Structure 1
Amino acid sequence: MDLWYTEKQTPRHGITTKIKETLHTEQTEFQKLDMIETEEFGTMLVLDGMVMTTDKDEFVYHEMVSHVPLFTHPNPKKVLVVGGGDGGAIREVLKHASVEKAVLVEIDGKVIEYSKKHLPNIAGELDNPRVEVQVDDGFMHIHNHKNEYDVIMVDSTEPVGPAAKLFERGFYQGIYEALTEEGIFVAQSDNPWFHGDLIKKVFADVKGIFPITRLYTCNIPTYPSGMWTFTLGSKKHDPLEVDPARFNAIETKYYTPELHKAAFVLPKFVQDLTEGK
């Protein structure tokens, strides 16, 4: 008998993939967690019925959420990742030699535990001595650490359950205050096909706080619609004006210096969202 996993991405649309076995399933304190071994994408982490990451395509998201802000900042030394318990963003952050400390704040310790067990290629740097892992509320961490971080990445689930408050204007204001004077932050902001209103709201909220606000995209096949957006807020540095000399060689599979700027070239219907249309 064939076994298939289906994510209902909207009430009228979903994706499905053939699975070999369920590696782990658990209702944690915060969400339903499933680790699934799929035939097409390898091991897949699913939270509350939503695909978070897979062995095959994880590099796209983790490289784009990390390297765009890190290469934009002239000298990032202390970096915060809110969420991201799978460890992929941390792995990419550590590729930057200037980073002296990377702090991961993940509210659900079970995500960290089972990512280490079943996704070692993604979570393999969580025990690195440059990394501090805290099982805590990222929302509260932001508000308790003023003027501390050079770069902050919000690697959250969609705006449901414990992640809902990570999409509020007050959270972005807290991020602004937690950043140093040259600070930059980036947050995943979902897809424009099914959640255009969310992108419009997030972009407007961030633009109301940060002098420089940009939206960029990438392609992730297991995420709803395949097109994914990130919203970047910066106090001083524009990602479109990065000195080419900043792009030192790091090992990547998706991100390139050319793609760094190309990712900000938006289709018209996505550009309209940033203009409140």
Structure 2
Amino acid sequence: MERRAKRYNELWVTEEQTSNMKLSLRINQILINKKSEYQDILLVETFEYGRMLILDGAIQIAERDEFCYSEMMAHIVLCAHPSPKRVLIVGGGDGGVLREVLRHKEVEKATLIDIDKEVINASKKYLPTISCAMDDPRADVQSMDALAYISSVSNEFDVAIIDSTDPVDFAAGLFEADFYSDVKRALKEDGMMLAQTESPFSDSNVVVGAFQEIKKVYPITSLCWGAMPTYPTGIWTYTIGSKKLDPSVPRCPAPEGTKYYTTEIHKAAFVLPPFLKKLLDKA
């Protein structure tokens, strides 16, 4: 009987996506493994998805598929808004969403607020294709508590994008109505916000909870969805709160160079399958 030789000295990174499901990737290099003031930071080189940033054991972004997430986070709301000149990004210290926001030539200033300066520095050093817009003159990158920042501004932004980590520890407050109310006050009269709201399969309670909290605050609340391979179950949701405008209507064309987002994808993303409609009925 033939036996396949076992490969030794293999190094794998594993994310426990639920108590019953894990995602493992073989890696060839550990670039950063440290604990910051706020979280454990692991940055590795994987064979399958390129360089990958992992915070507190949860995959945040990978070079091969990040465009799926970054483009949806940025272009859904920026293309739905008629004139997005000032944009706020909460979280997103890797810079992927910022890069996509600044593809829009009408954006005059994009303010990125991430609490962990170590994440920003690590991304600048090891994720150049993702963090490449941080030195753009229109980018204002600040390391501070987003909750404190939001409470200090009003009527300033056309669009706000909440690129938060999972709703645990210091990020839990970013999924609550009080925070969404502060964001609403920071928006102009026709402003809108978008938040990542997890997977309807592995985190249905987060999807429903976030939708409920946003719906308490905004007169127009909508959910859209798309593919995100390295996130739990590969399907991800985005929830939009809008003061006036229907976010499902694209008012501006997609910027040049996108790999996932198109005007057609924009429209299709708001077409919810029956199981997802039924889930939102709980909200």
The aligned counterpart of 1:58 is: 66
Alignment-derived partner of residue 150 in structure 1: 158
2:186 aligns with 178
* Equivalent residue number for residue 259 of structure 2: 253
Equivalence map 1:51-90=2 (5 Å): 51-90=59-98
Query: Which residue does 1:5 correspond to in 2?
Result: 13
User: Whose Rg is larger?
Assistant: 2
* Cα deviation code 1:126-173 (max 9, x no counterpart): 011101111001111111111111000000110112211101110011
Ranges in structure 1 where 5+ consecutive residues have no aligned partner? none
Q: After superposition, where does 1:104-253 map in structure 2 within 5 Å? A: 104-243=112-251, 246-247=252-253, 249-253=255-259
Matched residues in 2 for 1:74 and 1:68: separation? 12
Identity between Structure 1 and Structure 2 (%)? 46
Cα distance in 1 between the residues matched to 2:94 and 2:278: 33
2:254–2:263 CA contact under 8 A, matched in 1: no
Deviates more, 1:192-201 or 1:54-63: 192-201
8 Å contact from structure 1 (residues 239, 261) kept in 2: no
Bigger mean CA offset, 105-114 vs 205-214: 205-214
Match of 1:265 among 250, 271, 275: 271
Deviation string 1:222-271 (CA, Å, 9 cap, x unpaired) is 1011000000011111122334xx21542100001000010111121211
Unaligned runs of 5+ in 2: 1-8
The residue type paired with residue 110 of structure 2 is A
* Structure 2 residue identity aligned to 1:33: I
CA distance in 1, matches of 2:108, 2:139: 9
| Total equivalences in the alignment | 275
- Letter in structure 1 aligned against 2:208: K
Q: Report the Cα distance in structure 2 between the residues aligned to 1:94 and 1:142, rounded to whole angstroms.
A: 21
3-state DSSP class of the match of 2:99?
Answer: helix
TM-score, normalised relative to structure 2: 0.95
Give the Å deviation of 1:209: 1.2
Report the alpha carbon displacement of residue 275 of structure 1 after superposing the two structures with TM: 1.7
